[in-house]
Structure 1
Amino acid sequence: MRDRHFELPSRPSLEYYRKQAKHLRHAYAAGDPAAGARVADVLSDRAAERFLLGDAQFVLAQEHGFRTWADFRAYVEGRGATAERPVSRLMGVRPGVYASMAGALLAELRRDEPGALRRLRAYVPRHATATSAATAELRDARLVIARELGFPTWRELVSFTEKSRRDLGERREERRRLHREAEALLAGDGDRLAALTAAQAGTLLQMLARPEPIPGVRLGRELGVPRAAVEVLLGKATDLDLPLLWAARSGRVAYARLLLDAGADPGARTWGGTPLENAIHHDDTEVVDLLAARAIVPRALWTFAACGRLDLVRACFGADGALRPDAAPARPDLADTGAGFPSRLPPSDDPAEIVGEAFVHACQHGRIEVVRWFLDRGVHPDVAPYLGRTGLHWAVRGGRPHVVRLLLERGADPSARDDLLRADAGGWLRIAFAARPHDPVARRIRALIGSEPAPAVR
């Protein structure tokens, strides 16, 4: 798996953390400022009298959210030792952004808000059984933010955030250096492209997956460049999976098809998700269909529903109508896709929540037979499994008037508002069709939900 957050083994052992504790003890004794700050954050002034190996182990345990080194050791030796580290979701965001998120969460914790308590219990092991969040500290809030982004500690989040900003600058500089080669690609100059290295060819393939590979050049759903020139790059590059992921995010259908034909893996998980997961979350049903024809990865109820595979959806339920235990090996999270959404609250094992996820994604991609099947089974039309977004919100945003009509007939509430944007169905319509308010699809949906048209721009 590529794109790991930081330079750590994918399955760190207890011996690894013991060495980390020894390193912290020596660094603290040598007067290292960073080590001093870490120790002071946990032990305050107590370390001034003495700081032994056991104290360093305690600091590591606390940084990971555990009460004691013994608790942390049990975790590492058990489930923690087999858990793979997630892939990177960071894209050059300033560290101060995450500090602000932690500060906002701390305020919610101090107000003892239920959602904040749920996040605290899910991500900070020493608070796993807490009944109140009012006594949480800033380091607890920081750990929650780090865990939601896939990092085991706040320190590692900050460290990789700084690294990601450096990496982003380097990538931008590399794209600037390859500007002329990108122009050669657009012009079909195979001779110039033949002189590129494998790494340069890979960078150009990633650039080609974006809607605007170089300023002023817009590419759409078609390939948009001479195929022979692209094939020169395909023959040189060693990684086609990351370009496929970006093509799936950008709706570059013809290019995604070419990458698949050239050997890109539709099941590769890079930058937080598979190409199919990204296509689903970015509302691109044509790319979803293209990828699903090759492989549905991950194979889960929500992806089956988004792909319109009613046969596979039905197979997720037993003869008694109960959800099968293997129906949700992977759960959707919008934060994995780079679409600008925060991470959801930790998903529960509640079958109703799992079914609700599948239902809203079926609405999103216009899979009306799947939507009707769920409704007939008793799913409430206003179910909102994450971010407060109902199936109607998803259907409106996706431009699915036939699904909108069905949901309204079954009692969906167009006045319901989501948790993030606080928008009702009419608000989502204005957001989705802001650039084309008089689109025939927008007009049909507007008539169905009874929304007022957006005011004319003068």
Structure 2
Amino acid sequence: MSDRHFELPAHPNLEYYRKQAKHLHRAYARGDAAAGARVADVLGDRAAERFLLSDAQFVLAQEHGFRTWAEFRAHIDSRSTAEDRPVSRLLGIRPGAYASMADRLLDDLRRDDPGALRRLRAYVPRQAAATSAATAELRDARLVIAREFGFPTWRELMSFTGKSRDDLDELQERRRRLRREAEAVLAGDTDRLAGLTAGQADTLLHMLAGPETIPGVRLDEELGAPRAAVEVLIGKATSLDVPLIWAARSNRVEYARLLLDAGADPGARVWGTTPLENAILHGHTKVVDLLAGRGIVPRALWTYAACGRLDLVRACFDEDGTLRPDAAPSRPDLADAGAGFPPRLPATDDPVEIVGEAFVHACEHGRIEVVRWLLDHGVHPDVAPYLGRTGLHWAIPPGHLEVVRLLLDRGADPSIRDDLFQADADGWLHIFHAAHPHDPVTQQLHDLIGP
């Protein structure tokens, strides 16, 4: 399965964009309405007098956020092939929803909101040095939204929004048609399952990977279905990698184990992320441990820390404590894993940020020895590399008491509020433990964090 919603090569080169400019030039000359709208959005009425190939190149550069074709060309020539990590964050919603996001962002830009200015500078190259967002245009806001959803331009986001919705509708219809077959899986009816097609088996394996994808059924860490029935589906499936990704996202521990034993690739990238990255970012420590036992992919400081591999964490630093340049080949983004969070600003090469990412994910998964080692080597207990979340914020939902205690002993500030929920440590305790106010862990967390 493709991990891209858009028809770009994995690493588009200059020749690709030159051909795109020639295509736009020809389309405009023959009166194509879509081409005319693109040109008018950038050049206004000027194109009616003259529209050369150089003008088409300028339009393309502007659509990608650059001031000139020369700047766009220099960017293409200079970037590394490892930089462009394809993701697909489309949610199956209508184009108007993305337009509303852009309108809201434009309002924030016009108010010169600091957060909106950071987003503008991060995603629109021609605004990279802007000190004020008040003069930003709608096309700037739209480009920010497109980039945050993994697309190089607003046009491409709009082009594939409809496809994303059609894909979702098709998947839901396939699931509806297979309701009786899903019941057969749960009942262990291997005879009925033997007559399924490979496509039907793929859909059912996908349904088994989600906690509530099968109507009326809640699936948890256990397999949740007779093993023999699931093995019939596995034997017919065309790929086990997509179900493994969803199992990692959904904390389906035993199902993930069965898929791995049957040959699912623990290092496969689906929608730009590996199963381990999904398990880490969703906070599913048992799945993290399972996958790490089959190999840590990607091999990076933050994944080592989340897996509790202090030996590998130490190896990411030179003897003088300097972070090794190969410690961060892959960087976390909650949005990549479909965790329902907004994309982070583009990661930087700042070692403090890189180590901070490793630190908070060690806190998230209760890796007390890694947390202690990083604190001993200079990490501030309140480091918040993205979403304004400190180690306390990450450690509270899973109830990692020893990590919370250690952080507080080392001076962590429980009054800090995150960017998304605007909640301090006590607020996070109420949000994530509201259903279990009398649970012993909840009580102990309250005693630690409370005034």
The verdict on a shared fold, with TM-score over 0.5 as the criterion, is: yes
1:217 counterpart residue number: 217
- Distance in 2, matches of 1:41 and 1:307, equals 49
Counterpart code for 1:124: V
- Which is further off, 175-184 or 95-104? 95-104
2:205 counterpart residue number: 205
Q: Is there any run of 5+ residues in structure 2 with no aligned partner, and where? A: none
- Tell me if 1:161 matches 2:161: yes
- Distance in 1, matches of 2:81 and 2:415, equals 47
- Distance in 2, matches of 1:82 and 1:371, equals 29
- Distance in 2, matches of 1:346 and 1:74, equals 20
Deviation sequence 1:80-139 (CA, Å, 0-9, x none): 777545131212023223222222332333344444333333322223333443332211
- Distance in 2, matches of 1:167 and 1:80, equals 32
- Tell me if 1:255 matches 2:218: no
Counterpart code for 2:5: H
- Distance in 2, matches of 1:70 and 1:371, equals 46
Number of equivalenced pairs: 451
- Tell me if 1:175 matches 2:183: no
Per-residue deviation, 1:273: 1.4
Contact 2:3-2:272 within 8 A present in 1 as well: no
Per-residue deviation, 1:76: 3.2
Q: Is there any run of 5+ residues in structure 1 with no aligned partner, and where? A: 452-458
1:47 counterpart residue number: 47
Counterpart code for 1:101: M
1:82–1:76 CA distance, 2 compared to 1 (3 A): farther
Counterpart code for 1:241: D
- Aligned residues: percent identity? 78
Contact 1:211-1:250 within 8 A present in 2 as well: yes
Contact 1:10-1:84 within 8 A present in 2 as well: yes
Contact 1:201-1:233 within 8 A present in 2 as well: yes
Question: Secondary structure of 2:396's partner?
Answer: helix
Contact 1:13-1:81 within 8 A present in 2 as well: no
Question: Secondary structure of 1:294's partner?
Answer: coil
- Distance in 2, matches of 1:423 and 1:66, equals 37
Counterpart code for 2:229: A
Question: Secondary structure of 2:427's partner?
Answer: helix
Deviation sequence 1:292-341 (CA, Å, 0-9, x none): 11111111111111111111111111000111111111111111111110
Deviation sequence 1:259-317 (CA, Å, 0-9, x none): 00011111111123111111111111111100111111111111111111111111111
1:3 counterpart residue number: 3
Aligned ranges 1:326-337 → 2 under 5 Å: 326-337=326-337
- Which is further off, 114-123 or 319-328? 114-123
Scaled by the length of structure 1, what TM-score is found?
0.94
1:149 counterpart residue number: 149
Question: Secondary structure of 1:45's partner?
Answer: helix
- Distance in 1, matches of 2:213 and 2:200, equals 14
- Distance in 2, matches of 1:80 and 1:108, equals 33
- Distance in 1, matches of 2:301 and 2:326, equals 9
Counterpart code for 1:288: V
- Tell me if 1:28 matches 2:19: no
Counterpart code for 2:42: V
Per-residue deviation, 1:415: 1.2
Contact 1:395-1:404 within 8 A present in 2 as well: yes
Question: Secondary structure of 1:316's partner?
Answer: coil
Q: CA RMSD in A?
A: 1.8
Deviation sequence 1:160-192 (CA, Å, 0-9, x none): 122101110011011111111111111111122
Per-residue deviation, 1:194: 1.5
Contact 2:85-2:272 within 8 A present in 1 as well: no
Per-residue deviation, 1:78: 4.1
Per-residue deviation, 1:144: 1.6
- Distance in 1, matches of 2:245 and 2:403, equals 28
Per-residue deviation, 1:443: 1.2
Per-residue deviation, 1:13: 3.6
Aligned ranges 1:257-272 → 2 under 5 Å: 257-272=257-272
- Distance in 2, matches of 1:431 and 1:94, equals 30
Contact 1:363-1:391 within 8 A present in 2 as well: yes
- Distance in 1, matches of 2:449 and 2:109, equals 37
- Distance in 1, matches of 2:191 and 2:50, equals 68
2:105 counterpart residue number: 105
Counterpart code for 1:158: M
